[in-house]
Amino acid sequence: MTDVIAYPAILDNNENDNGVYTVTFPDVPGAISEGKDVAHALKNGSEALGLMLYDAKEYPKVSDLSKVEKENPDAIVTLIFADLAEIKRTVKKPMVKKNTTIPGDLAQKAEEAGINFSQTLADALREKLA
């Protein structure tokens, strides 16, 4: 899989006020954005596309651009790209606090050894789930 992807996007301002464009992707239905002008719509569309696909195992098939243009004659149709490696670097995964109970002597030994409890639990869960 590549780090840079491109998909046809539809920029439509027919139902918006003040030149605001709605951005949709026929091949990636969940990727929806908008911008106060074409430049912002392209930038925000790229971000929406990247956020939808940065951790995808497989990418949707890319539609033919000319077909999408014919289906949307009153809108701007263009390719929008996203750098998935950049998105991965900037996305912050949420952390969840979990309380656990372990034997006291084990906790003391781990603390004395300087073991990071959160990291150890995360590593063990990843291993167990693999």
| Residue 121: its H or E element | helix 117-129
What is the pLDDT, as a whole number, of residue 1?
A: 59
What is the pLDDT, as a whole number, of residue 74?
A: 94
- CA-only gyration radius of the chain, Å: 22
- Whole-angstrom distance, CA of residue 4 vs CA of residue 9: 15
Percentage, residues of the chain above pLDDT 70: 98
- Whole-angstrom distance, CA of residue 123 vs CA of residue 130: 11
Amino acid in the structure at residue 19:
G
Residue count (the chain): 130
Stretch 79-94: mean pLDDT, rounded? 90
| Spatial contact of 103 and 110, defined as CB atoms under 8 Å apart | no
Q: Which CATH number fits domain 4-90: 3.40.190.10, 3.40.50.2300, 3.40.720.10, 3.30.160.250?
A: 3.30.160.250
pLDDT in tens, 10-25: 999 999 888 899 999 9
Task: With CA atoms as reference, report the closest residue to 47 among 64, 71, 28.
Answer: 28
Mean pLDDT over all residues of the chain? 93
Percentage, residues of the chain above pLDDT 90: 77
Ranges of CATH 3.30.160.250 domains, the chain: 4-90
pLDDT in tens, 25-68: 999 999 999 999 999 999 999 999 999 999 899 999 999 999 99
- Whole-angstrom distance, CA of residue 65 vs CA of residue 76: 11
